[in-house]
Structure 1
Amino acid sequence: MKYYLFLILILMGSLCYAQNDRKLAKINGWKKSAQDNYSNGEYEKAIEDWYKIIKIDSTYLDAYYNISDLYYFLNDKENSLKILEQNVFSNGQYFSESIYMLAKRYFLWGEYTDAKEAVELYLSNKSINGSRREKGEKFLKNCEFAIDQINNPVEFDPINLGENINSKYDEFLPSLTIDEDVLLFIVTRPITRMGKEEFQDDFFLSFRNGNEWTKAKPFDEINTPLSEGAQSFSADGSLLFFCAYGRKDGKGNFDIYYSYKSGKSWSTPRNIGKSINTYFRESEPSISSDGKTLYFVSDRPGGFGGKDIWKSTLTEKGYWRQPVNLGDSINTANDEYSPFIHPDNQTLYFSSNGHMGMGGYDLFVARKNEYGWSKPKNIGYPINTSKDEINIFINSSGKTAYYSSRAESGFGNSDLYYFEMPEKVRPHMVAYAKGIVFDAETNQKLEARFELINLKTGETVIQSYSDPEDGSFLVCLPQDNDYALNVSKEGYLFFSENFNFEGTHTQKEPYKKDIALIPVKTGKKVVLKNVFFDTDSYELKPESKVELNKLAGFLNSNPTVRIQLNGHTDNVGSESDNLVLSDNRAKAVVEYLIKNGIPASRLQAKGFGESKPIDNNDTEKGRANNRRTEFEIISK
């Protein structure tokens, strides 16, 4: 390389084009032939056409560039570089732009030191100024960045997902449910249509069976004779967003669709609508774990480059708002692809060829902050290489990543792999809870409304329904916060629980809670687990409002129901003091409900002190269970 660069300095000259009409006609003829062969995938024939142009005019720069590109597509590194090196010495003349193109090609092949030397030579030409110099200096920094990444690699040991998932065809874009029990991905397969072989993208599904994956099968409920892909599961796996091509109800060629799961069946996919889909390309959706924000890629007007990442938020009435561009901290003048919003709803992964990278498309991570998004960080070499890294999926713990790669050790062209995520680019750890809602008397599975509320902020984090057929639910949320879980259904007393996701509730050890809803009947009781008092106090703590507002809502929905608030304590302290304290606590709840519009005639309060324990008082846990406020139905 240094020998070439030394000669280049000697061979600097001026470029002169001299073409007669006959020569130009021949060139245009071979150029059209080359373009046609390229369009038909006949890369070798296209290369021959461009070489014929070079024989006519050895200074025709586009021919050298296109031949190099075609050899790049054919993964022929030697010839891809050789033709550009030949171009630099063509006719003994020095072409500054040819040097820059050679530097870019060295970079794409991962020859970062050669690329750096070439671009330094390019910049040594004093005639390079203005935007050309700015472009060259930016590229020089990228070369230095790539060399630094090579010298400081991250730990990376990808493991192939195996023959039940991967095949001789291309597998890519993995997506999993939050519990990692279901894997959905795309397979590019050859099909015959009207006597002609074509390639089509279809969904394939696999299910976890212990430590193995079942043999992947086509997702026939969603697949069509056209291509589908770029999918995203909701956290509980009951809602699927994906991109489809060329459907009759499409707003453009590429639109986003969704499908609901009920029991074991999926609904007919529906177009997400004109608030998101346009005449332009909308694809690669990623839904937040709370189901309220959809990230996607579009080339619509109003962006910063070719393809940008946008987001739309869901209204309380269930409509998607007009999308908003994520801004120039994420999007560049080039292209951004494959957004993946982690279940922590704070960490965004995406692919880009516009940020500082290793060549082609690299994977980046950005974190949400008070100003929008942090500056994207390259997730490191050798995860990112000189080739294209397009997609990644990170599990709830943030420790395991899934992606596709064309590694030589695979079963085919592109296979699915998993690897341990480097700590510095991990998201926040997220826990999840799962369970079943059922009738306490009949055990019938119920479709019920559930809410998860941050007790500190009062924010409703999740609002959804359990599955109408099997009563199942699954929710995820960041750890180290206190949450209220409220579950309700018409005709039933609501259920309440509070918990803190301490430690790690992972795919192997989720927080499990099966919920028995009690029918509204006289004498039935519900413990208000999210009503809180300080020790020896009957003043309601602010976080109690979440639960008490829920109780007020229940009473408003059941206007004939009368209740009694029962206060209970543990056995710490005197029996008489505990009786007074429990009575005052019950009265405090009644007063709150009256202030919030519930008639006093429908409410009673009674304290029982320590006389009705539901657990032993020998442990702190038992005493905590005995300290409780409950409501009892006294008439319907």
Structure 2
Amino acid sequence: MKKLLFCCCLVSMQAFAQQTDKATRKAMELLESSMTAMRSYQYPEAIRYLQEAIRAKPTFPDAYGQMALTYLAMKQYSDAEQAFLKLGELDSSGLRSVSPSYAKAMAGNGKFTEALALLNRYETTAKNISPRTRQLKKDMEFAVTTKPVPFKPQNLGESVNTADPEYFPSPTIDGKTLVFTRRVGGRNEDFFIAGHDSLQWTHARDMGEPVNTAFNEGAQNISQDGEMLVYTGCDFPTGRGSCDIYFSVRTENGGWTQPKNIGPAINTEAWESQPCLSPDKQSLYFVRATPDAGSDIFVSTRNPDGRWAPAERLGPHINTKGRETTPYLHADGQTLFFASDGHPGFGGLDLFYCRKQADGSWGTPVNLGYPINTIEEEGSLTVAADGRTAYFASDRSDSRGALDIYSFELYPEARPLPTLYIRGYVYDAKTQARLPAELDLIDLSNRQPVATIQSNQNGDYLVPLPTGKDYAFNVNRKGYLFYSDNFSLTGNQDGKPFEKNIPLTPIEANATLVLRNIFFPTNQFVLEPASAAELDKLVDFLRENATLQVEISGHTDNVGSDAANLLLSQNRAKSVVDYLAQHGIAATRLKAKGYGETKPLESNDSDAGRAQNRRTELKIISLQ
């Protein structure tokens, strides 16, 4: 890319040199020296030579033209635009020949309307228009249709950033950990980790062995629960291609396991990089180099046996004939951020977001807008669980010397759902022993699974809870009654995370289970549609435990007469039994029983207590 730009500079400067026969020998010598510096990309040195040439001959248009192109190569667009203006004052014909470069300087300063107008004028007179100029015009035609978005980046400071480049920031769901890549000494890439106290990021430390090695590790992502790290390893002895994806898991003592190649379902002879785990760690998004389109985003999901399925392209809504890179799936599991130069944008790689649809497909990508996106290459954006705080890497004017990590507040239209979480451990209700288990979060509005989480062997778990919806929450382990809970987060944007240790009851006679996701309208016994997820779960449980005989019981609060409550509870229990029978569970295994208000769990003196008492329960009558 630099070579192409330099060739453009040389051609332009040769034209200037042919037109300039009155320049002083000293100015010409300094101009030649600047071009020599440009050949080795010594841009600051080239500028110094040009400044000396202008002092020697203030009306030297060639020097201003070369200076403009040099500043453009340095991405110092304001300086470039001023040099182009001076060139125009001295030699309007010389300015016309570099109109595309002048337009790019304008675009770099956010002057998209002016840049497009200049390109349109250039197009009417130019004999040959390069593909690069045509693309610039196309980018400007998109840019003029947009409005600037709020963007006030803040450097994360010296606890994270150094004179070395820092990039690929990756936060955990609790906001207390940030993992990033640092190119140490400008050579070897390693991972660093910073913690966050109540006020600021603490000093980042080297993650050390076995994750960091003498090889280059980069483009990492830490899982939302902080328990798994996926990353890119290039030219590793265990690699299948030039770059592969590896993973490591946190150990009980806070260290990390020996990294492993994630396997042939994901890694091929091609280049694979930039992995991102879904919040439940059951899907892996990553980038693969492709022969038909520079790079595309792929996804692989875990099979029930824990193995990764063969990766597939995300599809034409996301992937284009251009490059798609740096995928990041937010903690809400529904908002995907990525970079692309194939979708309409401002130039180079732009950042986009898209939302998962009800059918599981991805919606139309939306450009994040200027000045988040510019005419340069953007990428590697991540967003904290709060949906507001975004992180990215940039070499802005206040960086420590190279790429630094910055944060900014993402504007409302682009925000993912703020995401809370529930964490704790699972244990045997009788022995208190910790249990590994599966945890399911289900959207009650459409019965779609939001997350399926496997706890670790010690029973520890963390499940993301995107706000704005109501969820059924189930915990499952063979040989135990499943656990049922409900999270009503409709309209909840600022709640606190949940901490809950979950007891599982062994399957035995008289064991009971409160079914917290079976709903009825007030004083009615017709099942609400939102009950279907829990009812289907109950059907599956009874099929898997085909010898169980159970009682389904209905319970009410104390509002209303005893007789009315008893009848209502009986009819509600019968409605559940009827559903189970209609879905293949033998009626001989089922008994409906109403208890009215006679078995409260809590006091009926509060709304919360009465809500707990209005419930449906399952009780095991017999194991045979």
The reply to whether TM is greater than 0.5 is: yes
TM-score (norm 2): 0.78
Shift of 1:339: 2.0
2:353 maps to amino acid? V
SS in 2 for 1:351: strand
* Residue in structure 1 matched with residue 389 of structure 2 by the alignment: 400
Percent identity over paired residues: 37
Shift of 1:316: 5.0
Shift of 1:407: 2.8
Q: Given the superposition, is the C-alpha separation of residues 145 and 505 from structure 1 closer, same or farther in structure 2, using an over 3 Å criterion?
A: closer
Q: Given the superposition, is the C-alpha separation of residues 68 and 444 from structure 1 closer, same or farther in structure 2, using an over 3 Å criterion?
A: farther
Shift of 1:467: 2.6
Pair 1:488-2:488 in alignment: no
* Residue in structure 2 matched with residue 142 of structure 1 by the alignment: 139
* Residue in structure 2 matched with residue 473 of structure 1 by the alignment: 461
* Residue in structure 2 matched with residue 160 of structure 1 by the alignment: 155
Alpha-carbon separation, structure 2, partners of 1:274 and 1:501: 40
Shift of 1:105: 6.0
- Of 191, 216, 223 in structure 1, the residue corresponding to residue 204 of structure 2 is 216
- Of 596, 602, 617 in structure 1, the residue corresponding to residue 604 of structure 2 is 617
Shift of 1:377: 1.8
* Residue in structure 2 matched with residue 515 of structure 1 by the alignment: 502
Alpha-carbon separation, structure 2, partners of 1:97 and 1:403: 37
SS in 2 for 1:550: helix
Pair 1:281-2:276 in alignment: no
Q: Given the superposition, is the C-alpha separation of residues 601 and 413 from structure 1 closer, same or farther in structure 2, using an over 3 Å criterion?
A: same
The superposition leaves residues 34-80 of structure 1 with CA deviations (integer Å, 9 ceiling, x where unpaired) of 99x95xx88899999xxxxxxxxxxxxxxx99999887666677998
Q: Given the superposition, is the C-alpha separation of residues 113 and 603 from structure 1 closer, same or farther in structure 2, using an over 3 Å criterion?
A: closer
SS in 2 for 1:606: strand
Shift of 1:225: 1.4
Which sections of structure 1, spanning at least 5 residues, go unmatched? 1-10, 17-32, 49-63, 191-197
Q: Given the superposition, is the C-alpha separation of residues 582 and 169 from structure 1 closer, same or farther in structure 2, using an over 3 Å criterion?
A: same
Q: Given the superposition, is the C-alpha separation of residues 347 and 581 from structure 1 closer, same or farther in structure 2, using an over 3 Å criterion?
A: closer
* Residue in structure 1 matched with residue 216 of structure 2 by the alignment: 227
* Residue in structure 1 matched with residue 54 of structure 2 by the alignment: none
Aligned residues: 573
- Of 599, 620, 623 in structure 2, the residue corresponding to residue 633 of structure 1 is 620
Shift of 1:569: 1.9
Aligned CA RMSD, in angstroms, stands at 4.2
Alpha-carbon separation, structure 2, partners of 1:473 and 1:581: 38
SS in 2 for 1:380: coil
- Of 239, 251, 263 in structure 1, the residue corresponding to residue 240 of structure 2 is 251
Shift of 1:498: 1.7
* Residue in structure 1 matched with residue 187 of structure 2 by the alignment: 199
Pair 1:456-2:456 in alignment: no
CA contact (8 A) 1:69 1:80 kept: yes
2:136 maps to amino acid? F
Pair 1:567-2:549 in alignment: no
SS in 1 for 2:187: strand
Shift of 1:552: 4.0
* Residue in structure 2 matched with residue 294 of structure 1 by the alignment: 284
Q: Given the superposition, is the C-alpha separation of residues 583 and 113 from structure 1 closer, same or farther in structure 2, using an over 3 Å criterion?
A: closer
* Residue in structure 2 matched with residue 270 of structure 1 by the alignment: 260
Shift of 1:180: 1.5
Alpha-carbon separation, structure 1, partners of 2:551 and 2:257: 44
Shift of 1:297: 2.2
Pair 1:177-2:172 in alignment: yes
* Residue in structure 1 matched with residue 352 of structure 2 by the alignment: 364
The superposition leaves residues 476-519 of structure 1 with CA deviations (integer Å, 9 ceiling, x where unpaired) of 2443322111112234332101222134465x712443322233
* Residue in structure 2 matched with residue 421 of structure 1 by the alignment: 410
* Residue in structure 2 matched with residue 237 of structure 1 by the alignment: 226
Alpha-carbon separation, structure 2, partners of 1:117 and 1:542: 57
Pair 1:501-2:489 in alignment: yes
SS in 2 for 1:213: coil
Alpha-carbon separation, structure 2, partners of 1:148 and 1:335: 23
Alpha-carbon separation, structure 2, partners of 1:577 and 1:77: 78
Shift of 1:106: 6.1
Alpha-carbon separation, structure 2, partners of 1:465 and 1:98: 60
Q: Given the superposition, is the C-alpha separation of residues 315 and 47 from structure 1 closer, same or farther in structure 2, using an over 3 Å criterion?
A: farther
The superposition leaves residues 84-106 of structure 1 with CA deviations (integer Å, 9 ceiling, x where unpaired) of 999999x9997987554554466
1:173 maps to amino acid? F
2:122 maps to amino acid? Y
Equivalent positions of 1:53-132 (< 5 A) are: 99-101=99-101, 103-104=103-104, 107=107, 115-116=115-116, 119-125=119-125, 127-128=127-128, 132=129
* Residue in structure 1 matched with residue 11 of structure 2 by the alignment: none
CA contact (8 A) 1:174 1:416 kept: yes
CA contact (8 A) 1:284 1:338 kept: yes
CA contact (8 A) 1:12 1:93 kept: no
Shift of 1:278: 2.5
Alpha-carbon separation, structure 2, partners of 1:107 and 1:310: 33
Alpha-carbon separation, structure 2, partners of 1:67 and 1:251: 46
1:166 maps to amino acid? N
Q: Given the superposition, is the C-alpha separation of residues 387 and 595 from structure 1 closer, same or farther in structure 2, using an over 3 Å criterion?
A: closer
Alpha-carbon separation, structure 2, partners of 1:617 and 1:414: 60
Q: Given the superposition, is the C-alpha separation of residues 239 and 584 from structure 1 closer, same or farther in structure 2, using an over 3 Å criterion?
A: same
The superposition leaves residues 517-565 of structure 1 with CA deviations (integer Å, 9 ceiling, x where unpaired) of 2334443322111222333444444433432333344444445554333
Which sections of structure 2, spanning at least 5 residues, go unmatched? 1-13, 20-35, 49-63
Alpha-carbon separation, structure 2, partners of 1:420 and 1:211: 17
SS in 2 for 1:623: helix
CA contact (8 A) 1:314 1:321 kept: no
Alpha-carbon separation, structure 2, partners of 1:354 and 1:301: 15
The superposition leaves residues 148-185 of structure 1 with CA deviations (integer Å, 9 ceiling, x where unpaired) of 87xx5433332222322222221111111122222111
Shift of 1:202: 1.0
CA contact (8 A) 1:315 1:321 kept: no
Alpha-carbon separation, structure 2, partners of 1:325 and 1:555: 37
Alpha-carbon separation, structure 2, partners of 1:187 and 1:587: 63
1:446 maps to amino acid? L
* Residue in structure 1 matched with residue 51 of structure 2 by the alignment: none
